[in-house]
A and B are shown apart, each in its own frame.
Chain A
């Protein structure tokens, strides 16, 4: 098992290098570069200033030299400094990553606690009113973008009841209740949008599994329906669902970026958005690197869970 994890981690390295090249290059390809932005904020700018800034920031060198320099420092744990705030990127990431991680984790918990029980219920009561309601709800969640729901949640309660979700961030360690009070609304919205597909998948897989011969065997042993589902069907049914959750990781992170913006959660999403607008290359690259690692780690976790659920995979 350990060997498996180590092998998987080593396999991540080429993927990460590839990702970093793409991110490094693409952020520089968006029109309007950072020096234009900086100059536009000064009143008097000459061609001379431009060359000076370029040199100071190292932008006068060929892009591949810039990349290797960045990679070399990155390998040593230095992701450069923000072009505007001049703070180390790693410091900014260390500040914002836990916040986004919390949001993502809460959303995942919401998604699973909604999707799996309802998916199972829907399958067990196939074609009843309850099943139709559950399936319509999931379609609705799939169709409504979370930024739209987020906006509604911001606007309507305040119009109707003069109540708005809190928008003031409190660190978890300072006041967990206050922190959760703020984070829970975006987490629920994000979780619901993730739950749609997971719920449908759970339902489909449970229906499929309940038709298998080993379920008939379990019934022939005298097990009641609840034991049949919990002991014999669930684990088999959840194997593909776990894969699906891994595939949804980018969706989760993408959704977090948007909801952080709406609910003023000072996480990586907010950091990224500001950095993109300001063409703060090192910050953008740093965030994407972390997102890339995050997605790869989630997939590693998915594979490990898979091994736990499916003995055939474990023994390979």
Chain B
């Protein structure tokens, strides 16, 4: 296999806030191969969205990338000019957001919003783009798709809006789709439908997918590889299968133990990880997870472990701890 489609190297992002500098993403390295689904897992506040938004250069005015590179098809996105980056957004990399209720513009018809990327990037006329938008809506299984082009977002349920977002993301057949917790805001019954749809469509296009989630259950079903984030850092990364079979970081182990399992005792209480996620404006000098880690030693409180290989393709950031 050649070089990965997306290769994030040592990315750090800080925000200026009232409480001082917040390092939301700290020395994160990730890669996604062509046609592959990478899941990014972690509790809320662990830096997943910021990592994703950095790829598209959408972190906002108060944030800045202080270090690292984001190589996409060989080009460093952090160094691209505004116009070049815009040409990639929505065309070669598309993003689906967490909030289906607010991510669509309330005063524009669905047809306009889905057609827009094609009009912008594909030099299509509005009529052609509209026609294509109708086909896309049908492809994401919206009933009576062609008739619904003139409807507004408030006519759609949350699940249907997320289908619209998927149609919009697929419009230009991007090489990479980033889905930031696409089902977190939806009913449990709808979640699986949306994720299967997303997975099937990306597979048809042979696109890569970054699937951000805080639900390890999702990882097993939809992802090829996983990166686990904690306190703005990647603390473990391996194949999805191997993560369950062979977790090598205490945080991952805790996460897996807290997923409800089908063969567990129904009465048995779920394991949860005690303690609070770290305050990014005030990180401890050592391992960010150390205060909550039951294996923590003195060394963990003093120095930060770096991401190191424990086996081929399996990396973790933890000092010599081995509990197996």
Interface set of A (CB-CB < 8 Å, partner B):
212-214, 216-224, 231-232, 235-236, 309-312
Contact B106 A219 (CB under 8 A): no
B5 at the interface (CB under 8 A from A): no
Given contacts A220-B97, A221-B168, A235-B107, list 19 more A-B pairs with CB under 8 A. Answer: A212-B102, A213-B103, A214-B106, A217-B105, A218-B105, A218-B116, A219-B58, A219-B89, A220-B89, A221-B89, A221-B94, A221-B120, A222-B91, A223-B86, A224-B83, A231-B108, A232-B108, A311-B152, A312-B154
- Give chain B interface residues in 130-155, CB to chain A under 8 Å: 152, 154
Q: State in angstroms the CA–CA spacing of A223 and B82 once bound together.
A: 11
Using a Cβ–Cβ cut-off of 8 Å, how many residues does chain B contribute to the interface with A? 28
Contact A222 B105 (CB under 8 A): no
Nearest-Cβ distance from residue A312 to partner chain B, whole angstroms:
6
Q: State in angstroms the CA–CA spacing of A219 and B83 once bound together.
A: 12
Nearest-Cβ distance from residue A84 to partner chain B, whole angstroms:
53
B117 at the interface (CB under 8 A from A): yes
Q: State in angstroms the CA–CA spacing of A212 and B104 once bound together.
A: 10
User: What are 14 sample pairs from A and B whose C-beta atoms fall under 8 A apart?
Assistant: A214-B105, A217-B97, A217-B103, A218-B105, A220-B58, A220-B89, A221-B117, A221-B120, A222-B117, A232-B108, A236-B107, A310-B106, A311-B106, A311-B154
- Give chain B interface residues in 73-105, CB to chain A under 8 Å: 83, 86-91, 94-95, 97, 99, 102-105
Q: Which residue of B lies closest to A126 (CB)?
A: B61
B56 at the interface (CB under 8 A from A): yes
Q: Which residue of B lies closest to A215 (CB)?
A: B105
**Which residues on B sit within 8 Å (CB–CB) of A214?**
102-106
**Which residues on A sit within 8 Å (CB–CB) of B95?**
220
Q: State in angstroms the CA–CA spacing of A222 and B90 once bound together.
A: 5
**Which residues on A sit within 8 Å (CB–CB) of B99?**
213
**Which residues on B sit within 8 Å (CB–CB) of A220?**
56, 58, 89-90, 94-95, 97
Contact B104 A224 (CB under 8 A): no
B199 at the interface (CB under 8 A from A): no
Nearest-Cβ distance from residue A311 to partner chain B, whole angstroms:
4
Q: State in angstroms the CA–CA spacing of A182 and B152 once bound together.
A: 47
B10 at the interface (CB under 8 A from A): no
Contact A311 B89 (CB under 8 A): no
B121 at the interface (CB under 8 A from A): yes
Nearest-Cβ distance from residue A125 to partner chain B, whole angstroms:
12
Q: State in angstroms the CA–CA spacing of A214 and B86 once bound together.
A: 16
Most buried by A among B90, B91, B105: B105
Q: Which residue of B lies closest to A220 (CB)?
A: B95
- 7 tightest A-B contacts by CB? A221-B90, A222-B90, A222-B89, A213-B102, A214-B105, A311-B152, A220-B95
